[in-house]
Chains A and B, each alone.
Chain A
C-alpha cells in the first residue's frame, strides 16, 4: 500500500499516548511506590525503603492468609465455573425447539454488574429474611437459619458460589462456539463406527476443544484472580480475614489503610503471580493472530 513509512505510527499515536498516560505511568508509579514508605496523609516524607515493603510481606500473617484464600478462591471458582459451563454447553449443543431462548437466558449472569450480583446474593443469603435459609429450612436440611456471610467457615464458599453463578455463562458460550466448530461429519463417522456417546466425547469432541478450553481457562483464571468487587460488596473481606484475597488485601491496605507503599508491594506481588499465566495466554493468542 502507498504511504509514508511513518503513516501507521501516526494512526497509532493517540492510542499509544493515552495508554502511556493512563496505564504505563500508573504501573511504573506503583513499582516506584512499592519501594517507598508512602502513606497518603504524610505526603512530604516518602523515604526509600528498597525491598523493605516486600520483606514486611513475609512476616505479615494477613498476606499469607490472603494468598491461601486466593488459591482456594481461584481453584474453586474457576473449576466450578468450567464444570458447569462445560455441562451447559453440551446440553445447549443438542437441538430442541426452545434452544435459542435457553442460550439467550443463560447469558444473563454474565451481563450483570458485579455490585448487583453482590447485592442479589447478599439478599439471598440474608440471615433473617433470605431465600436460601427459607428454602433449606422448608425442606428440612437446616434446623435453624445460618448467617452465611458472617461465619468464617461459610463466607468464602458463599462468595465463591456467587462468582460461579456469574462466570459459568462465559465458559458455556465459549465452549459452545468451539463445539459448533467441530464438523458434524466427524460425529457421524464416529457414530457409524459404533462409538458410544462417551467415546465420541473422548475422541471427537475433546481433541477439537482442547485449545479453546485452555485459552478460556487461562483468561478466566487471570480474571478471577484479579477480581475483587464481588467480595468487596458482599463481605468487605470479613469476617476477620476469612474472605481476604490478594487483590482485595492490596486494595484495602491502600484504600482504607492509606498505606500506598505497602499496598503497591502487594499489588506487584499479585501481578508477578499472574505474569506466568498471562505470558502463556498472550503467546497462544499471538500465535493464533499471526498464523
Chain B
C-alpha cells in the first residue's frame, strides 16, 4: 500500500512535470512540422485542424523544386563548414600555446579572448560591413565566414584550452624526452588525444554558424545566401505561404538539432568555462 502510494506520488511530483516540460520544449517544433505536411486548404482553416486528413509532402517538393532553397542549403553547408575549419585552424595552435606554455601576457590574452566573446554584434557589424564592401568581400563565402569567425575564434580557443588542460602535460614531455620533435609530439600524441574535444568544438561552431542570422544577412546577398536569411526573406515574399515556410524551417532545424544533441555534454563545460566541475 505504501509502495503504491509513493509510486503515485512520484508519478505526480516528478514524471508528470517532466512530461509537461518535454511537451513545452517540443510543441512549437512539432506544430511547425505538422503544419508543413498539411495541404493548403487545411492550413487556411479556422478553428485549427490539428492533424491533416490527407498529409502531404507537397510543400517539401515545392520548396526543393521551385525555390532557391537547395542552393541556400548548399551555401549554409559551405559557410558553416568553412567557419568551423577556419575556427579550428586558428584556435588549435592558440589553445596549444595557452595550455602548454607559460609566457608573458598569457593571462591578459586569455582574458581578452573571453571578453571579446561578450561584445555585442552591433558593435562590430557596421564597420565589418563597410570594410567588406571596400575589400569586395560582400556577398562572398569568405565574407560571411570571416563574420562568423568573430564568435568562432574566441569560443573555440576557450573550449579547446580547457580540453587540452585535461590532457596531462607529462605525456608530451615524455614523448619529447624520447626524442620526438615538437611537431611530432603534437601530431602523434596530443592531437589524437584531443580529437573528441576538437570534434565537439568544430561541431558547435558549425551549428552556431548554420544558425546565425545577423552577420549572414548583412554580409551576404544574391550570390551567397544562407538558409536563415533565405527563410526570413520568404516571410516577406510569400506572406501567407505557411506550408513552404514551415517545410523550410523543419528541414533547416533537423540536422543541427541532431548535431547539437551530440555535443551538448561537452558544451556545458565550455560555456560556463569551468564553473561547473564535471
A residues contacting B by CB (< 8 A) are 1-3, 5, 7-9, 11-12, 14-16, 18-19, 22-27, 29-30, 33, 87-88, 91-92, 94, 96, 99, 102, 104-117, 119-124, 128-131, 134, 137-138, 165, 169-170, 173-174, 177-178, 181, 211-212, 215-216, 219, 222, 225-226, 228-229, 232-233, 247, 250-251, 254-255, 260, 263-264, 266-268, 270-271, 274, 278, 281-282, 284-286, 288-290
> With an 8 A cutoff between CB atoms, is B61 at the interface?
no
With A15-B157, A96-B18, A288-B274 given, is the CB distance from A112 to B122 under 8 Å? Answer: no
B residues contacting A by CB (< 8 A) are 10, 14-15, 17-19, 21-22, 24-26, 28-29, 31-32, 35, 43-48, 89-91, 93-94, 96-98, 100-101, 103, 106-107, 109-111, 113-116, 118-128, 130-131, 146-147, 149-150, 153-154, 157, 162, 169, 172-173, 176, 182, 207, 210-214, 218, 228, 231-232, 235, 242, 245-246, 249, 252-253, 256-257, 259-261, 264, 268, 271-278
Can you list the 10 inter-chain pairs with the closest CB atoms, starting with the nearest? A29-B127, A111-B260, A113-B211, A8-B101, A15-B94, A11-B97, A26-B127, A215-B275, A288-B274, A134-B48
Set of chain B residues within 8 Å of A124, measured between Cβ atoms: 28, 31
Set of chain B residues within 8 Å of A121, measured between Cβ atoms: 28
Set of chain B residues within 8 Å of A216, measured between Cβ atoms: 272, 275
In the complex, the answer to whether B173 meets A267 with C-beta atoms within 8 Å is: no
In the complex, the answer to whether A111 meets B275 with C-beta atoms within 8 Å is: no
In the complex, the answer to whether A102 meets B18 with C-beta atoms within 8 Å is: yes
In the complex, the answer to whether A165 meets B118 with C-beta atoms within 8 Å is: no
Instruction: Name 10 extra pairs, CB < 8 A, besides A29-B127, A271-B119.
Output: A7-B97, A9-B97, A22-B150, A121-B28, A124-B28, A137-B47, A177-B276, A254-B122, A267-B123, A285-B272
User: With A and B bound together, what is the CA distance between A219 and B47 in angstroms?
Assistant: 42
User: With A and B bound together, what is the CA distance between A19 and B252 in angstroms?
Assistant: 30
In the complex, the answer to whether A115 meets B232 with C-beta atoms within 8 Å is: yes
User: With A and B bound together, what is the CA distance between A288 and B47 in angstroms?
Assistant: 55
Residue of B103, B110, B120, B260 near A226 (CB, 8 A) is B120
In the complex, the answer to whether A286 meets B118 with C-beta atoms within 8 Å is: no
In the complex, the answer to whether A289 meets B273 with C-beta atoms within 8 Å is: yes
Set of chain B residues within 8 Å of A116, measured between Cβ atoms: 32, 228, 231, 249, 252-253
A sample of 5 inter-chain contacts (CB < 8 A) reads A18-B90, A30-B124, A109-B29, A119-B249, A177-B268
In the complex, the answer to whether B213 meets A113 with C-beta atoms within 8 Å is: yes
In the complex, the answer to whether B125 meets A251 with C-beta atoms within 8 Å is: yes
In the complex, the answer to whether B130 meets A23 with C-beta atoms within 8 Å is: no
In the complex, the answer to whether A123 meets B119 with C-beta atoms within 8 Å is: no
In the complex, the answer to whether A105 meets B25 with C-beta atoms within 8 Å is: yes
In the complex, the answer to whether A15 meets B93 with C-beta atoms within 8 Å is: yes
Q: How far is the CB of B227 from chain A (nearest CB, A)?
A: 8
In the complex, the answer to whether B252 meets A29 with C-beta atoms within 8 Å is: no
In the complex, the answer to whether B114 meets A285 with C-beta atoms within 8 Å is: yes
Set of chain B residues within 8 Å of A128, measured between Cβ atoms: 46
User: With A and B bound together, what is the CA distance between A26 and B127 in angstroms?
Assistant: 5
In the complex, the answer to whether B149 meets A22 with C-beta atoms within 8 Å is: yes
Set of chain A residues within 8 Å of B124, measured between Cβ atoms: 22-23, 26-27, 30
Residue of B97, B176, B207, B275 near A12 (CB, 8 A) is B97
In the complex, the answer to whether A25 meets B127 with C-beta atoms within 8 Å is: yes
Set of chain A residues within 8 Å of B89, measured between Cβ atoms: 14
Q: How far is the CB of B6 from chain A (nearest CB, A)?
A: 13
- A197 to chain B: closest residue by CB: B13
Set of chain B residues within 8 Å of A247, measured between Cβ atoms: 120-122
Most chain A CB within a 10 A radius of its CB, from B25, B46, B124, B169:
B25
With A19-B153, A25-B131 given, is the CB distance from A264 to B48 under 8 Å? Answer: no
Residue of A104, A165, A229 near B213 (CB, 8 A) is A229
With A173-B268, A174-B271 given, is the CB distance from A113 to B22 under 8 Å? Answer: no
With A23-B116, A128-B46 given, is the CB distance from A11 to B93 under 8 Å? Answer: yes
User: With A and B bound together, what is the CA distance between A133 and B94 in angstroms?
Assistant: 52
In the complex, the answer to whether A282 meets B48 with C-beta atoms within 8 Å is: no
Set of chain B residues within 8 Å of A102, measured between Cβ atoms: 18-19, 21-22
In the complex, the answer to whether B115 meets A91 with C-beta atoms within 8 Å is: no
Residue of B35, B232, B242, B261 near A111 (CB, 8 A) is B261
